[in-house]
Amino acid sequence: MAIPSVVSAVVFDCDGLLLDTETCWSRAEASLFADHGFGFGAAEKDLLIGRTLEAACANMAEYIGRPGTGPELHAELLPRVEAELSATVEAMPGARELLELLHGKVPLGVATNSPRHLLAAALRSANMQHYFDVSVASDEVAQPKPHPELYLRAFQALSAAPQAGVALEDSATGVASAQAAGTYLITVPSQPGKQLDGDYVATSLADPRIVQWAQRVTSQG
């Protein structure tokens, strides 16, 4: 299915799609797993990626054999992540160039399972906050991803119909959220070799079809 050339809005996930915050998260997560006597690889990352902090820490608690201790792990993990994000966060390949092409042409938003303060820190570190008309974080909705509320709220704030919009995602949780919102989905998996669904699936935001789409896309409004 061709990427729509006339759209109501474009809404991005952040972590792992626009910004390489996953590297920051992975360093923090690996240190926490190590403190509890566990290694950290693809299987462990899969328990955490794309989820809220609460859900990720609950999964980790089960995995390390300490069910019910998610809140304690949350309290241990959060300052480690904040410390990592305080350094410069790198843009994912093609992300800044794509935003430059879209900015000013179509309404742009962010919908993320990160809480507001971590989203703000990451966008500020990467100097990307000015590209977006709205952003919605996990602590601002009743039901985060994989529920569609984050995307529905973002499109609503942009006065845009999700059915006429485009979402971009990198994780299975985000894919489920965007699909449930009924929007066209571009998927760029952040984990190498990960097979994810989408209306168009690419290996990078620098994919030529995505770039060509961004060059010609126009807004419904």
How far does Cα 88 stand from its chain's mean position? 18
Residue 7 has φ and ψ, to the nearest 5°, of -130, 155
pLDDT of residue 130: 97
Bridge partners, residue 169, by sequence: 187
pLDDT digit string (tens) for 80-138? 988 888 777 999 999 999 999 999 999 999 999 988 989 998 999 999 999 999 999 99
Q: In the chain, how long is the greatest CA-to-CA distance?
A: 54
The closest of 193, 197, 148, 151 to 172, measured between CA atoms, is 197
Q: What's this model's pTM, rounded to 2 decimal places? A: 0.86
The token pair at 152 is 């529905």
- What is 6-20+89-219's CATH topology? Rossmann fold (3.40.50)
Q: What percent of the chain has pLDDT over 90?
A: 81
| Spatial separation of the C-alpha atoms in residues 130 and 56, rounded to whole Å | 29
pLDDT digit string (tens) for 188-214? 998 888 899 999 999 999 999 999 999
pLDDT of residue 87: 77
Residue identified by tokens 């609503």 is 156
The answer, yes or no, to whether residue 76 has pLDDT greater than 90, is yes
What's the mean pLDDT when you consider all of the chain?
94
pLDDT of residue 114: 87
The closest of 157, 159, 100, 111 to 137, measured between CA atoms, is 111
Provide long-range contacts, Cβ within 8 A and 24+ apart, for 67-76: 73/32, 76/32, 76/35
Q: How many CA atoms lie within 13 A of 52 on its CB side?
A: 20
